[in-house]
Amino acid sequence: MNHTDMLQHARQVLSDNDRGTYTVPTHGLYPFQWNWDSALSALGFAHFDEPRAWGEIETLMAHQWEDGMVPHIIFHQPDDGYFPGPDVWGTGRTVPTTGITQPPVTGFAVRRIHDRARDKGLARAQARALLPKIHAWHEWFYRARDPEGTGLVALLHPWESGRDNSVDWDAAFERVPTEGVGAFVRRDTTHANPAHRPTDEQYKRYIWLVQKFRSLGWDNTKLHDASPFKVVDPGFNAILIRSCEDVADLAARLGMDEIAEASRAMVAKGVAAMKTLWSDEMGQYLCYDRCQGALIQSPSISGILATFAPIPKARAAALVRRIETLADSCNYLIPSHDPTHPAFDGLRYWRGPVWLIVNYMVADGFARAGETEIIPRIINDCLRLIETSGFAEYHDPITAEPCGGPHFTWTAAMVIEILNTYELAA
Ligand code: GLC
């Protein structure tokens, strides 16, 4: 497939999954609007339809909760093909949503779409309207998910991480009970190969947490302390810090000084706290179990995605070395889990496969850190995967097997973004 055909195909995926005011990640498996999918997909739309790109983010932020939280799924239309649906979450919203959040990459996306916009007037108007909402979400994070003011936010459910089934959660998840979870019928395994998806035991724990939070009325002043699952994820925190930094920069240029100043303070605190997640032994950042008070010795992509935040240059250089080591044990960068680790699984959801969105954010972080040599390798591997196996949700880093849902929106959006951002050999 040449790049022109690839671009055309990618646009087709986006328009097939476009529901007018929002985009579904893929038909069937994910029939609603997902939070960080929308922000990252907007980057793709922006290359050929700026109003549609802004609309995607506007719709997402229109469903922000009063306390500032932006939900991970918005159930715009009923659809029986997905479990757990609105009746399980019971958040009581007029347009139903889940009660947990997802990686806050929207601040980054807004700044990027704004800065390269052809329609500057529209971009300024949209940014002015969106920044206060995004800023309120960031403040919510540090208030509700870092009540002791450590500078790092915790996730209360693996689905908040966006890396739903990562090995990182295994030990902490074992401590989540399953008692009281009634019988349920999963829908994901009717759309995707069960070998690619989480196990039933894990699903029970996912649902136990949902029921627990629901029993607390989804009150975010209570959830953090009550949750038996509290994990600090370096990649997630890096996305939050980066979005705060982008909001600070853009707000300052738009004369929104209070937002700029408050955002800069959050960045400074977050960057300082990221140091506590570094492991010399592993040569990367690690997750931290806030219930146990210990780092989680699991070599996942999250500790490399940390480079999306303004981390020290020496750390970025060390993360490049880490990727070079990973490259010795796979054919396509960057595996979501170290292929030499016993828990690695090249097919199963976030336990090994490659996600283009992660590759894009890591490459972007390295570009900012001046670590440019590794970037063509990461970017070319993305395109090789698409050429070999199409616009799948994710790919096996050894065989390139396409996994999860097909015809995937953010995979296509990343291809559009990459082909328009990087200079590539034809
Ligand atoms: C899966 C992914 C999550 C994504 C969602 C929709 O749940 O783990 O990151 O947002 O699918 O694509």
Per-residue model confidence as pLDDT tens digits over 167-216: 999 999 999 999 999 888 999 888 889 888 888 888 999 999 999 999 99
- Angle (CA) 217-58-413 rounded to 5° is 105
pTM of the model: 0.98
Residue to substitute in 32, 37, 394 for testing ligand 1 pocket (most ligand atoms within 8 angstroms of CB): 37
Q: What are phi and psi of 348, to 5 degrees?
A: -90, 130
Specify the pLDDT at position 426: 55
Active-site residue flag, 258: no
* E-state strands within 93-241: 154-155, 231-232
Q: What are phi and psi of 287, to 5 degrees?
A: -75, 160
* E-state strands within 134-181: 154-155
Distance CA 302, CA 280 (A): 16
Nearest in space to 304 (alpha carbons), one of 112, 173, 166: 166
Mean pLDDT of the chain: 97
Distance CA 306, CA 282 (A): 14
The amino acid that residue 422 corresponds to is Y
Specify the pLDDT at position 424: 75
**Helix or strand run (H / E) with residue 419:** helix 409-421
Give the residue, by CA position, lying nearest to ligand 1 atom 4.
162
**Helix or strand run (H / E) with residue 210:** helix 200-215
Ligand 1 centroid, distance to 350 Cα (angstroms): 10
Distance CA 264, CA 134 (A): 14
Q: Which atom of ligand 1 lies nearest, measured to the CA of 410? A: 12
Q: What are phi and psi of 154, to 5 degrees?
A: -105, 150
User: 3-class SS at 271?
Assistant: helix
pLDDT tens track for 133-159: 999 999 999 999 999 999 999 999 999
**pLDDT bucket at 425, cuts 50 / 70 / 90:** low
Active-site residue flag, 146: no
- Give the residue with greater pLDDT, 426 vs 260: 260
**pLDDT bucket at 351, cuts 50 / 70 / 90:** very high
pLDDT at 85 over 90: yes
User: Whose structure tokens read 């038909």?
Assistant: 27
CB 419 within 8 A of CB 3: yes
- Percent of the chain as helix, strand, coil, to the nearest 5: 50, 5, 40
pLDDT tens track for 300-350: 999 999 999 999 999 999 999 999 999 999 999 999 999 999 999 999 999
- 213-242 average pLDDT score: 98
pLDDT tens track for 30-84: 999 999 999 999 999 999 999 999 999 999 999 999 999 999 999 999 999 899 9
Check pocket membership of 408 for ligand 1, CB cut-off 6 A. no
Range from 185-194, 267-276, 384-393 carrying the lowest mean pLDDT: 185-194
Active-site annotation holder among 58, 146, 245, 393: 393
Check pocket membership of 206 for ligand 1, CB cut-off 6 A. no
Distance CA 176, CA 305 (A): 26
